[in-house]
A and B are shown apart, each in its own frame.
Chain A
Amino acid sequence: MTVPSDIHPLLAVENLSCAVPGPAGAMRILTDVSFTLPHATALGIVGESGAGKSMLVKTIMDIAPSRAAVTGAVRLDGTALQSLDTRTRRTTLGRRVGMVFQNPMTSLNPFVRVGRQVEEASRKHLGLDRRAAREKAIALLRAVGIPDAAECYHGFPHQFSGGMKQRIMIATALACDPELLIADEATTALDATVQKDILDLLQTLQQRRRMSMILVTHNLGVVAGRTDEVIVMYGGRLVEHAPTERLFASPRHRYTAALLSAMPRIDQPAHTRLATIPGQPPSLAHPEPGCPFAPRCPAAIDACRAAMPPMTVSADGRHRFACHVPLDAGISGDASVRQPEAANV
């Protein structure tokens, strides 16, 4: 995706790869992932379990397992994070990027009052004194919809329901007024109405604060109405990246299409047979040559098994996909010109 040369995108990920040693040789958890995220934009990352979604955001946040071999570059507002020394890098990320993890039960310390946990980062990174940090923490608890925030400041995590704990986690992630908020399956464990409340909250905050946001989820419905762009991961690779409407209306990659048709939909009658994706996710230890989806793909041709499909970019530069036999662009699609993408995004 092209950006005007005078401004940098908030986040640029360039040829990011990550491998960890495994019993059967190195496991290639991420292979050559590249994308950019503009300011004030919401991005969804979807893909089946084990596709590498969490590892992608962990690698961006520099919290990949220490045994992992990471190559490629992550730029925040133009600055290559790898070029910074470890301390500056961690401080930069801690101050400018907030992260909400999947499980609030394990992410909050059960023995520390929640107010303290919310204000920790702002004291550390913004250098606020005790009083200012405390006022800020209470304001944040209020902003994420915790009633009686001043009293709750003194509460311990076990006194809050799952939905409220997740709100507290979000307050913690917002403590330093981040420019980017990353939520990894932040609502998966919650029931539907609480899930909606939390997603509404994230969306309101993103728009009000003009942050960018990355929503990692395996529920396509979650990203549908709430993100500007979506990335689809498969076997550690980025296989499709498009504006959200376009991805749902006319997916080009065969895996994206299979994923969309496996979803149960409320506009179908009872007992409608769901489409499934036969076969197993690809082996990361012994990747086959060619497209990782080829063994499960109904449209695979010999070329798919022989060579990894290159990234194709649509004429307007906004839709990218890596497939030898892409689906038609469809009515709302663009007359895409197949042109291999430039090596650097």
Chain B
Amino acid sequence: MSSDAPSVTSAGDLGYLRDDAALKVRNLTVSFRRGQKIFNAVSDVSFDLARGETLGLVGESGSGKTTIGRAILQLVPAHGADLGGAITYEDDDLATLSRAQMRLMRRRMQMIFQDPVSSFNPRRKVVDIVGEGLEIQGMPRDERRRRVDQALADVGLSRAMVEGRRPYQFSGGQCQRLAIARALALGPDMIVCDEPVASLDVSVQAHVINLLQDIRAARNLALIFISHDLAVVRNVSDRVAVLYMGRMVEIGRADDIYRAPAHPYTRRLLDAIPVPDPARRIPAGEGGAEPHSQLAPPSGCRFRLRCPRADALCAEVEPQLRPMAQGQYAACHHPLPELGQGNSSRPAALSTPA
């Protein structure tokens, strides 16, 4: 990882970053080469994560969530990609670790991939899939067996239930639990969960979320929870970071952001949550515009072409993250006011179902 010159916002100035955090991501930039063009998937993103804490990572499809998760675990393909910035875990700069050192580090840092079924080798038995990471670590057979049993028990399964069976013989919810077991078997203290409950139905989803929360509490796990479902993120997260076209546009305590979002894009996301409140009859809108091409992002603020508050300043100057009155940080020239101030109506997201 080359260490680029830090951009205008130097991480040290930002009050939301902590020196004692376990994971520190500073000025992370990931760009992919597409033919002649350079495509910035992640631009100058900084955040951190403490033990036992959950950070929700939200943003629309293509905003760079998975890329950030992969970059943290040093899993971005070296070919065709450029990384900038620094990622440290408990004071180890991950980019400087040797392959062997990084392999050891993976015992502590794990990722549950988006779409677990496709990350399973369909011909392997699921018991072996759960033990895969341990095998790579060269763990002795007895110890491996013990750990796999424990991880299966942690996710509410047992060896007897899975012995001899292959992935296709399990439902979507069960495969999701197997993917969690595979990550847990290594005994990590940090996990990146990429859309762990997307496509599960409500009852299975509730089960998997509770399970992750129990394990988090029992093991003091640090979690990065990537999801496009903002109601789920609300349930699991202590803090939330919002991405838009590869940039972090808002970050702070989940309570603050959900109570009074400052960035117009966050507000739009929250307004889009399907609320189980039939009294709030949703007015039929006309449907919004498609996002702008990321190959040539608009000048100034990247959200300005979809933003109702945009003005000339937004077209000229790219806004930087700065502290908001309501507690969080947001990158916007004309942020939404705190509740009860200015003309902002009560966020729809707060309407309390009967």
- Residue positions of A touching B, CB distance < 8 A: 48-49, 145, 147, 161-164, 188-201, 203-204, 207, 218-222, 224-226, 244-245, 247-249, 258-260, 262-277, 332
Shortest CB distance A257–B (Å): 12
Residue of B nearest to A248 (CB): B278
Residue of A nearest to B274 (CB): A221
**Residues B274 and A222 in contact, CB atoms below 8 Å apart:** yes
Within 8 Å CB of B272, what residues of A?
192-193, 195-196
Could you list 19 further interchain pairs (A-B, Cβ under 8 angstroms) beyond the known A197-B285, A248-B353? A48-B204, A49-B204, A145-B287, A163-B290, A188-B199, A192-B229, A195-B274, A203-B282, A218-B201, A219-B274, A221-B231, A221-B275, A263-B202, A266-B231, A267-B353, A270-B234, A270-B254, A276-B210, A277-B203
Shortest CB distance A258–B (Å): 8
Q: Could you list 8 A-B pairs, sorted by A, with CB under 8 Å?
A: A48-B201, A147-B289, A191-B60, A195-B274, A200-B287, A249-B354, A264-B209, A274-B210
**Residues A193 and B60 in contact, CB atoms below 8 Å apart:** yes
- Residue positions of B touching A, CB distance < 8 A: 54, 60-61, 171-172, 199, 201-207, 209-210, 213, 228-232, 234-238, 254-255, 258, 268-282, 284-290, 349-350, 352-354
The answer, among A49, A225, A263, A266, for a CB contact under 8 Å with B230, is: A266
Assembly CA distance A222 to B288 (angstroms):
18
Assembly CA distance A190 to B232 (angstroms):
16
**Residues A191 and B228 in contact, CB atoms below 8 Å apart:** yes
**Residues A224 and B277 in contact, CB atoms below 8 Å apart:** yes
The answer, among A192, A203, A222, for a CB contact under 8 Å with B284, is: A203
- Taking A48-B201, A164-B290 as contacts, is the C-beta distance between A225 and B274 under 8 angstroms? yes
**Residues A275 and B287 in contact, CB atoms below 8 Å apart:** no
- Taking A262-B202, A276-B203 as contacts, is the C-beta distance between A201 and B287 under 8 angstroms? yes
Shortest CB distance B215–A (Å): 13
The answer, among B202, B235, B280, B352, for a CB contact under 8 Å with A271, is: B235
Residue of A nearest to B202 (CB): A262
**Residues A274 and B231 in contact, CB atoms below 8 Å apart:** no
The answer, among A145, A161, A226, A262, for a CB contact under 8 Å with B206, is: A262
The 9 A-B pairs at the shortest CB distance, nearest first, are namely A221-B274, A225-B282, A274-B206, A196-B272, A203-B284, A264-B235, A200-B285, A204-B284, A197-B287
Shortest CB distance A189–B (Å): 8
**Residues B275 and A200 in contact, CB atoms below 8 Å apart:** no
Residue of B nearest to A261 (CB): B206
**Residues B350 and A245 in contact, CB atoms below 8 Å apart:** no
**Residues A263 and B277 in contact, CB atoms below 8 Å apart:** no
Residue of A nearest to B239 (CB): A270
- Taking A225-B278, A248-B353, A271-B213 as contacts, is the C-beta distance between A194 and B202 under 8 angstroms? no
**Residues B284 and A200 in contact, CB atoms below 8 Å apart:** yes
Within 8 Å CB of A200, what residues of B?
282, 284-287
Shortest CB distance B152–A (Å): 18
- Taking A196-B272, A221-B273 as contacts, is the C-beta distance between A145 and B235 under 8 angstroms? no
Within 8 Å CB of B281, what residues of A?
225-226
Within 8 Å CB of A269, what residues of B?
255
Assembly CA distance A189 to B210 (angstroms):
23
Within 8 Å CB of A219, what residues of B?
202, 274
Assembly CA distance A200 to B272 (angstroms):
10
Residue of B nearest to A187 (CB): B274
Assembly CA distance A19 to B287 (angstroms):
40
Assembly CA distance A197 to B171 (angstroms):
30
Assembly CA distance A221 to B286 (angstroms):
20
Shortest CB distance A30–B (Å): 18
Assembly CA distance A161 to B288 (angstroms):
14
Within 8 Å CB of B254, what residues of A?
270
The answer, among B172, B230, B277, B289, for a CB contact under 8 Å with A192, is: B230
- Taking A273-B213, A277-B203 as contacts, is the C-beta distance between A265 and B290 under 8 angstroms? no
Shortest CB distance A168–B (Å): 13
- Taking A197-B287, A200-B284, A263-B231 as contacts, is the C-beta distance between A271 and B277 under 8 angstroms? no
Assembly CA distance A317 to B184 (angstroms):
52
Shortest CB distance A332–B (Å): 8
**Residues A266 and B277 in contact, CB atoms below 8 Å apart:** no
Assembly CA distance A268 to B352 (angstroms):
10
**Residues B269 and A193 in contact, CB atoms below 8 Å apart:** yes
Assembly CA distance A39 to B349 (angstroms):
32
Assembly CA distance A194 to B230 (angstroms):
14
Residue of B nearest to A273 (CB): B210
**Residues B286 and A204 in contact, CB atoms below 8 Å apart:** yes
Assembly CA distance A195 to B284 (angstroms):
13
Within 8 Å CB of A226, what residues of B?
281-282
Within 8 Å CB of B213, what residues of A?
271, 273
Residue of A nearest to B59 (CB): A191
**Residues B273 and A266 in contact, CB atoms below 8 Å apart:** yes
**Residues B276 and A147 in contact, CB atoms below 8 Å apart:** no
**Residues B353 and A265 in contact, CB atoms below 8 Å apart:** yes
**Residues A248 and B276 in contact, CB atoms below 8 Å apart:** yes
Chain B CB count within 10 A is highest, among A48, A147, A194, for A194
